[in-house]
Structure 1
Amino acid sequence: NVDEGSAWMLRGDRGITFTDDLPQGTEITDGQWWGPRAEGAFLSMAKNAASDFGITIGDQLTVDILGRPVELTVANLREINWAGGGMNFSLVVNEAVGLQLPLGFLGTFRVDEEKTEGLEARLANEFPGASVVRVGDVLEPVEALLRSLKLLLASLAAALLIGALMVLVSALFAQIRLRADEINTRRMLGASAAQVGQMIRRETLALALLVLLVGGLMGTALVVVLFVGVLDRPVVVPWTMLLAGLLVPLVVLVGGAAREGRKIMRQNAQY
């Protein structure tokens, strides 16, 4: 039984390439790259696929390449970001193996939308045997879906933040009202209004920092799990939005608590 995440490798033919140079951006997670002019028959696999198939470094595999069985030794495992849109292969062999096999050439390039008109016709004239596949037509719906998902998550996070802030403000103000007797006692014992207000602000600041810190850590962990574990995409921390999301609630809570304390002191001063 093979995990569904890698079962696609067993359905039909798979692309394979060869090189002795470590491809740019390659992240080796296990084993070592074979290096230039390596003798022998080595294989580099995608880490997730190797894990799903139960393959480890040093295992011997027989790979059928265009009807020709080739014995290969697993030399290393790679982390592949399939969402990057670059040229990636789940299987890579060294040049000593690849140069003995029938081969074709495969490449990718980016073209501005306004320059695509007539491009395929020109490529067909220059390279009659080449096939052109417009990847953008396939990726555009996916990118639109990801943008919608990002907007949905941002809206949900904003709604949750506002809701949590309202609950926290209500609970905090209620707690300050319950401490009206304590505030009055401190005033009668000689504490000034400024001293009482400073006490309330400090307590509110400490409580708010604790709550926001815990909430921020939990939210960050959820985002990491969602993007890295589920969507397999890198996480980019929006520091500006994150700081704003921490500072605004702090100002609201501390300022609101101080105002509520002054309100209680004014009410008691009337009696």
Structure 2
Amino acid sequence: MSIKSKKVRDRVRYTLILILLILLGIVFALPFLFLISSAFKTPEQVVKYPPEWIPSPFTLRAFKEGFEAFPFLLYFRNSSVVTLLSVIGNLISTTVVAYAFARLRARMKNVIFSIVLSTIMIPWLVTFVPLYVIYSKINFLDTYFPLVLPYFLSCHVFSVFLMRQFFMGIPRELDEAAQIDGCGVIGTLVRIIVPNAKPSILICAIFVFVASWNDFFAPLIYLNDSNKHTLSVGLSLWSNSASSNLSSRILDISPLMAMSLISIVPVMVLYMFAQRYFVEGVVTTGIKG
């Protein structure tokens, strides 16, 4: 086979793969595009068949009615508090734990780490009943403690694994230099390890942010007061309450779509500004140029 024919074959293969990926991307993006389109439609346009993807006329009515009928700001504040505390707790606890597994010397350290890592294969629902009993015994139900406390106890095992692998890539000569300058274990962690591990720390923060912001099951089970509900639970309950009026639910889902669209804006903005850190977190070994 000549070099020219091989290049042609490779180009055709690349083109076909690219077209396939574009088609798959469009298919997976359709629900999101429907969400955006429905948020700016009138009730008549929402149920129109075949559907119109571009609203005509373009209206913001759904956003106004959504804010009037749905306590969005209250649920947004609740989700923000829970998510912020979860991210802070996860970064503090997993940084310390990962540093201990990566840099400190101890007997059976690798065995203990293997046991910790194996817990990632245990479904969260398996531990739900004993956790619920424990939280009920210590009067943590209907509070944010069950949603936040696991992150302060370094229960996000993937973050521990990711940070440990990143810390192990940082040269130990930096630790020795810090110890010569008089830094202890905590000083080395704060002044040397953490500044050189910003990409991995940011990646863990993004994962926990998305997991906590989108969490539905835990807030639904642990929170009884409607004023403490998060956005995911509030939107679901609002949708269910609309089902009592079937005609209203059929004719006008635009306010629900509008509030759902606003609720995912923080996640989209976070990914938009932090996307480059994903690649940097993978390829960086801890040394900054």
TM-score, normalised via structure 2 length: 0.28
Q: Larger helix proportion, structure 1 or 2? A: 2
The structure whose RCO (Cα within 8 Å, separation 6+) is larger is 2
